[in-house]
Structure 1
Amino acid sequence: MMISSAKTYDVVIMGGAMMGSSLASFLAQSPDFDGSVLVVERDPTYQYAATSLTNSCIRQQFSTALNVQITQFGAQFVQNLPLLMSPAAPWLSIQNFGYMYLANTPAFADHLRAAHAVQVALGAGTRLLTPDQIKAAYPFYTVDDLTLGSINTQDEGYFDGITLFDWFRREACRLGATFVTDEVVSMIRNAQGNRVDSVTLQSGATITCGQVVNASGTRGAIATQMAGIDIPVAPRKRFTWVFTAQTPLDRPLPLTIDPSGVHVRQDTKTTYMAGGHAADDPSVDQRDFTMDPNLWDDHIWPTLAAPIPQFEAIRVIREWAGRYDMNTLDANAIIGPHDQVENFHFMNGFSGHGLQQAPAIGRGMAEFLTYGAYRSLDLSPLGFARIREGEPYREAAII
């Protein structure tokens, strides 16, 4: 869609993938928001967006109460789209194979116990398992060097993230949000420097804006620099492989996490999906989606086969590289307004958690833009203040 060369919108959202579309949808559905919304998306195919290249999982096994609550709402929302979004939306489910964290050191076992206490206090179904209990429930694991396991098979596993994204975008458009194929290339602040007055698009259009929201994914730091702001967000490459096993497992495989960050889960009835990254994990060029030809043989495959010997004989059938918008300070999202440029807002740095967090973050940001405060869930611990002060919001359960 094209827009006129000069126009005013109450909210301009930079980025139309999962986060931008979630916010636009929640704003459009809010009975108390009567403003105009423009979503600026540079690539309407979303071919290389993190939304499209994600492994589409959701979990409650975090170590902080806020992250648990964010994904608990995500699970509720995903499974109740006809009630919470639109009667026309499909009923989605979560394939509850769960996440299995395996501890092979006393320190990691202590971390699992501490996180378990946080999770169950909020109603999560997380269970701690001894090595014998792990072996009884999942005989394919090697447990000789394990100390403890943690698993939750309630509202934790795989969901259809692409359908969720499609419905966010569809509902936002239906209810009046404008999506345009373009890109913000510059911003003009007022004389005091405390507000963004307008944004200029690559097409040449100038948009006067009430509020600006940066939902630019891995390009988030580039977008903030136009407003004279720096954030510690960088694109980091993440690799995915889908494979078959010569001897398939006799039951569904939970998403199993190695301390190195390598993880593997059931994909279909006959395939498995593994993900990970190299030990050297630098920022990458925005256009770099090349695979590392040695990573699978040298690191990923051996790491999979160690706890699951049946994965010594497997065949890769598909592979791709995606990216995280990594918050290098603490691997947690940056949400809400800047403390000096008051109408510039962040939805950045999700570090691989964006898809599962999108419903709660979109709802929260819509509340803030409508009422000037969070109402359903206080997201302020994820605000910009900690970035300015260099004080991480500590989340131990990062993959």
Structure 2
Amino acid sequence: MAKLTFDTVPNRASYDVVIVGGAIMGSSTAWFLTDNPDFDGSVLVVERDPSYEFCSTAHTNSCMRQQFSTELNVRISQFAADFVKNIRARMGDDDRIPPLSIRSFGYMYLADTEGFADVLRENIKVQHAAGAATQLMTPDEIRSTYPFYNVDDIVLGSINTVDEGYWDGAAVFDWWKRQARERGVDYVANEVVAMNRDGRRITSVTLKTGEVIACGQVVNASGPRAARTARMAGIDVPVEPRKRYSWVFKAETPLNRDLPLTIDPSGVHCRENGGGTYQAGGHADMDPAVDYDDFHMDHSLWENHVWPILATRIPAFEAVKVQSEWAGHYSVNTLDHNAILGPHPEVENFIFLNGFSGHGLQQSPAMGRATAEWLTYGEYRALDMTPFTYQRIVRNDPILETAVI
């Protein structure tokens, strides 16, 4: 597939919608706007780094799950699964788009206390009510099905092997971006450095190259930089970049079956990667906000924290070799680790699409669709996303989601 290139200067001096950030959330929104027959406006996507080398989209596990504790988050993932499995039909039967699937090895939550086991028992009620196929497993059942685990300290497990696991997020992202551009969305390699506000509205944005672009609505899809973008409009949003580390390693003795994305009680997680390789993730005990450009790798974290936990949980991982490692950023909503979506109550044409706290990739189909609906109709139609309103930030009224990784 040929590499897409972006111009620097927009084709127009005015757009109906300006999207700040062209990674997976911005591109999902742009594509869903082009797919909505009731939207006939112009769209500009401003992306500061069209290589996407350091964006959260590029550093993802690329997995989806339905194991959430709120019905809305479950429904959001169910739409993602449906979209991915039917991507060609969803995208206009474009025969250039490859058929995609979900490698449903599932997520395995492991509880080592009765308190956390009770959380899993409550969560499964929500998941089953929404139609998810989650199962609870006793330690003996886990040993029988996944004999590579050491579960001597485990009280209960929870897993769902239907529409839960790896999917090709990069392919979906690429085709959203490609089709959006083919349908008339303008992408520029530039940066929004200022916003011009007149009372309750943003009237224009100023680009780093000096152009002032008039706009009808502005979407903040700038990932970990969400707070910086909001401040240009005189708005605060509680989103900050937190560093998350990943390792791909090869096992000397690979497991004899797929490894679910395993969430150890410590918070360290690991999943099947294929070919005898596995991908692990975690973070340091101290988890402060970091600079937007801080991708420094803490090499000691693997030796001193992550690997010992993995080798204890899965003894076959005592002999492994790290093949690659990197640091990326979560866009953490410090109020409740859930999305912030929709308009600001005082700046009515400033639209939030922020704060996904690590589950943004799997939520991108539903979130892009919802944002496109709001931009077109001033309301949500397919799924009611109003619980994610910015108003809850003002009220200090968090959404309780217990299944956060």
The residue that corresponds to 2:25 in the other structure is: 19
CA distance in 1, matches of 2:8, 2:113: 57
**Aligned partner of 2:339: which letter?**
A
2:337 partner SS: coil
CA distance in 2, matches of 1:195, 1:322: 33
- Is the contact made by 2:249 and 2:277 (CA closer than 8 Å) also made in structure 1? yes
CA distance in 2, matches of 1:145, 1:268: 28
The residue that corresponds to 1:113 in the other structure is: 121
**Aligned partner of 1:65: which letter?**
E
The residue that corresponds to 1:172 in the other structure is: 180
**Aligned partner of 1:229: which letter?**
I
CA distance in 2, matches of 1:281, 1:272: 24
**Aligned partner of 1:123: which letter?**
G
* Correspondence 1:204 to 2:203: no
1:126-181 C-alpha deviation (Å, 9 max, x unpaired) = 00111111111001111221111100000000111110100110111111111011
TM-score, with structure 2 as normaliser: 0.96
The Cα of 1:203 is off from its aligned counterpart by 0.9
The Cα of 1:20 is off from its aligned counterpart by 0.3
The residue that corresponds to 1:356 in the other structure is: 362
Among candidates 372, 377, 387, match of residue 393 of structure 2:
387
CA distance in 1, matches of 2:323, 2:88: 35
Among candidates 77, 81, 85, match of residue 75 of structure 1:
81
**Aligned partner of 1:94: which letter?**
I
The Cα of 1:6 is off from its aligned counterpart by 6.8
1:241 partner SS: strand
**Aligned partner of 1:29: which letter?**
D
The residue that corresponds to 2:154 in the other structure is: 146
Q: How do 1:143-292 and structure 2 match up within 5 A?
A: 143-190=151-198, 193-292=199-298
CA distance in 2, matches of 1:285, 1:367: 33
* Correspondence 1:320 to 2:326: yes
1:5/1:172 CA distance change after superposition, 3 Å = closer
The residue that corresponds to 1:98 in the other structure is: 106
CA distance in 2, matches of 1:364, 1:230: 22
The residue that corresponds to 2:307 in the other structure is: 301
The Cα of 1:4 is off from its aligned counterpart by 5.7
**Aligned partner of 1:140: which letter?**
F
The Cα of 1:53 is off from its aligned counterpart by 1.3
Gap regions ≥5 residues in structure 2:
1-6
CA distance in 2, matches of 1:245, 1:153: 23
CA distance in 2, matches of 1:211, 1:241: 40
* Correspondence 1:365 to 2:374: no
Question: Percentage identity across aligned positions?
Answer: 60
Runs of 4+ displaced beyond 3 Å: 2-6
The residue that corresponds to 2:57 in the other structure is: 51
Q: How do 1:59-70 and structure 2 match up within 5 A?
A: 59-70=65-76
- Is the contact made by 1:36 and 1:177 (CA closer than 8 Å) also made in structure 2? yes
The residue that corresponds to 2:137 in the other structure is: 129
**Aligned partner of 1:34: which letter?**
D
CA distance in 2, matches of 1:398, 1:305: 23
CA distance in 1, matches of 2:206, 2:257: 54
**Aligned partner of 1:357: which letter?**
Q
Question: Aligned residue pairs: how many?
Answer: 397
CA distance in 1, matches of 2:8, 2:138: 60
1:29-54 C-alpha deviation (Å, 9 max, x unpaired) = 11000000000011111111111111
1:145/1:385 CA distance change after superposition, 3 Å = same
1:5/1:245 CA distance change after superposition, 3 Å = closer
RMSD: 1.1
**Aligned partner of 2:164: which letter?**
E
The Cα of 1:249 is off from its aligned counterpart by 1.0
**Aligned partner of 2:297: which letter?**
M
2:368 partner SS: helix
The Cα of 1:5 is off from its aligned counterpart by 8.9
CA distance in 2, matches of 1:260, 1:142: 14
CA distance in 2, matches of 1:233, 1:197: 24
The Cα of 1:269 is off from its aligned counterpart by 2.6
The Cα of 1:86 is off from its aligned counterpart by 3.0
The residue that corresponds to 2:346 in the other structure is: 340
2:230 partner SS: helix
1:21 partner SS: helix
CA distance in 1, matches of 2:10, 2:248: 45
The residue that corresponds to 2:381 in the other structure is: 375
1:331-370 C-alpha deviation (Å, 9 max, x unpaired) = 1110110011000000111111111000000000111111
CA distance in 1, matches of 2:88, 2:322: 37
- Is the contact made by 1:242 and 1:316 (CA closer than 8 Å) also made in structure 2? yes
The Cα of 1:109 is off from its aligned counterpart by 0.4
2:274 partner SS: coil
CA distance in 1, matches of 2:276, 2:266: 26
- Is the contact made by 1:5 and 1:206 (CA closer than 8 Å) also made in structure 2? no
1:170 partner SS: helix
CA distance in 2, matches of 1:4, 1:133: 58
